[in-house]
């Protein structure tokens, strides 16, 4: 049976996942950037010259933000969907167990 509220619940998950992803990106972006920036700067200097390293530094911050934000939004959205579907899963398991 389909529940008419499923669409409303799914629509409410999007903004919640975005807000969570913004918070997650705020805390995770400096770590991601710090771990990867040395390689980006070295690559840029070797292939494009030292004058582009500062542009690569800023550009990598922007690219890193979108990467971390998108990954966090995906993971938070999946986690929220799983949490909301848990009652149905538990009910189904009890029904199967009772036979």
Return the sign of the alpha-carbon dihedral for residues 6, 81, 32, 46: negative
All structural domains of the chain with their residue ranges: 6-98
Q: How far is CA 87 from CA 29, 48, 62, 79, 91, in A?
A: 34, 55, 39, 14, 6
Provide the token pair at 33: 């950037």
Per-residue pLDDT reduced to its tens digit, 57-93 = 999 999 999 999 999 999 999 999 999 889 888 888 8
Residue 25 pLDDT: 94
Residue 66 pLDDT: 96
Per-residue pLDDT reduced to its tens digit, 15-36 = 989 999 999 999 999 999 999 9
User: The whole model's pTM is what?
Assistant: 0.78
Model confidence at 4: pLDDT above 80: no
Residue 1 pLDDT: 45
């Amino acid at each position: 049976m389909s529940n008419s509220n499923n669409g409303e619940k799914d629509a409410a998950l999007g903004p919640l996942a975005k807000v969570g992803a913004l918070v997650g990106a705020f805390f995770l972006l400096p770590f991601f950037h710090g771990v990867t920036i040395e390689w980006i700067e070295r690559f840029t200097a070797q292939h494009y010259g030292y004058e582009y390293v500062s542009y690569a530094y800023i550009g990598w911050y922007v690219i890193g933000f979108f990467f971390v934000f998108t990954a966090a939004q995906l993971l938070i959205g999946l986690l929220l969907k799983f949490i909301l579907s848990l009652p149905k899963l538990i009910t189904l398991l009890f029904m199967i167990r009772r036979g």
